[in-house]
Amino acid sequence: MGAPKFSVVIPFFNEEGNARALLDETLLAVARLGGDFEVLMVNDASRDRTAEILAGVAQADPRCVLLTNARNAGQAASLNRGFLAARGEWILTMDGDGQNDPADYPALWSKLAESGADMVVGVRANRKDSALRQQMSRIANAVRGRILRDGVDDSGCALKIFRREVVGSFLPMKTLYSFMPALAVAGGFKVVQAPVNHRPRAAGVSNYGLRVMLWRPLVDLLGLWWFTRRSFPVRRIGG
C-alpha cells in the first residue's frame, strides 16, 4: 500500500468518554479532503478504558492505527511519536478531548490552498474554557507572540495542518505544542492562521493544569528566543 496523502495524529490520555465520538467525526471530516488518509491514535498510557476503545476502532477500521506509550509521556511526546510514524504528505493534529471540531479541517485545508502556506494554525473562536484558563492563554499568547514574532494569535490551538517536512523544524521538548508555529517560522516555512470552532468538554477532566500552562512554557520561551535568533531557515537552503 502506498503512502497516504494525510496523516492525522491525535494523542489520548484518559479520554474514554470522548474518544469514540471524536474518531467517528474525524473519519467523516478527513474523508471530505479528497485523499487517502491514516489516523494515528497515540494512547499515552491511559488508566481508564481509552486503550480498549482505541483498540476496537483500530480493529474495525484499517485506516486507524494505535500507538501505545509504555508510560505516560505527555502530550508533546505523544505528538512527536505520531509525527515520526506518520507516512502522509500532510499532517493534521488535534487534541483527544473532543473540544476541537474535526469539521474545521476542510476550511483549514482551503486556507492552505489559497495561501500557498506550509502550515495553517487554528484560532479558537468563542472558547469554551474557564475564564481563568482563557485569561492565562491570552497572556501567554501575547508574550510569546511579542518575543518570538511568529504571527500566530493562538499557538495553543491543537487544530493544525502542515507539510510533513515541517516536522524537521520541531524540537523534542515538553512544551512543543505551544511552539510549533514559531519553530516552523524559524525553519523558513510559511505559517498562516484561520478561525475554528471550540466546544465544551463533553466528558472527563482537563489533563493539563496551571503548572503546564504557565511556568514551563515561560522557561522554554527564553530558550526558544535564543534558538530562533541563532537558527538558520532550513527550508530556504539551496533555493
Predicted confidence (pLDDT) per residue in 217-231, tens digit:
666 766 665 567 666
The sign of the dihedral angle between the CA atoms of 196, 93, 76, 47 is positive
If pLDDT is split at 50, 70 and 90, which confidence band does 202 have? low
Q: Residue 217 has what pLDDT?
A: 64
For residue 239, tell me if it sits in a domain.
Answer: no
Q: Is 122 exposed, middle or buried (0-12, 13-18, 19+ CB in 10 A)?
A: buried
Q: Residue 125 has what pLDDT?
A: 79
The sign of the dihedral angle between the CA atoms of 221, 137, 178, 196 is negative
Intra-chain end-to-end CA distance of the chain, in Å: 33
Residue given cell 478561525 in the structure block: 195
CA-CA distance, 64 to 16, in Å (whole number)? 17
Residue given cell 527564553 in the structure block: 222
Question: pLDDT tens across 162-185, in order?
Answer: 999 999 999 888 888 888 998 999
DSSP state of 188: T
The whole-number average pLDDT for the span 81-90 is: 98
**Looking at the chain, how many residues does it have?**
239
For residue 67, tell me if it sits in a domain.
Answer: yes
Q: Would the pLDDT of 212 be above 80?
A: no
Name residues whose C-beta falls within 8 Å of residue 182's C-beta, 6 or more positions apart in sequence.
144, 148, 150, 152, 155, 224, 228
Q: Would the pLDDT of 239 be above 50?
A: no
Q: Residue 198 has what pLDDT?
A: 79
If pLDDT is split at 50, 70 and 90, which confidence band does 42 have? very high
Question: pLDDT tens across 119-134, in order?
Answer: 999 998 775 555 545 5
Closest by Cα among 81, 115, 104, 86 to 12: 81
Q: Residue 206 has what pLDDT?
A: 63
> Residue 233: how many CB atoms within 10 A of its CB?
12
For residue 1, tell me if it sits in a domain.
Answer: no
Q: Residue 143 has what pLDDT?
A: 55
Task: Find the range with the poorest average confidence among 196-200, 206-210, 217-221, 228-232.
Answer: 206-210
If pLDDT is split at 50, 70 and 90, which confidence band does 153 have? confident
For residue 84, tell me if it sits in a domain.
Answer: yes
* 158: three-class secondary structure by DSSP: coil
pLDDT > 70 in the chain, percent? 75
Residue given cell 471524536 in the structure block: 22
For residue 163, tell me if it sits in a domain.
Answer: yes
CA dihedral 96, 99, 103, 107 (to 10 degrees): -100
Structural domain boundaries, residue 75: 6-234
Question: pLDDT tens across 3-40, in order?
Answer: 999 999 999 999 999 999 999 999 999 999 999 999 99
The mean pLDDT of the chain is 85
Q: How many domains does the chain have?
A: 1
For residue 151, tell me if it sits in a domain.
Answer: yes
> Residue 212: how many CB atoms within 10 A of its CB?
17
CA-CA distance, 179 to 150, in Å (whole number)? 9
The CATH number assigned to the domain holding 220 equals: 3.90.550.10
Q: Would the pLDDT of 79 be above 50?
A: yes
Q: Residue 54 has what pLDDT?
A: 98
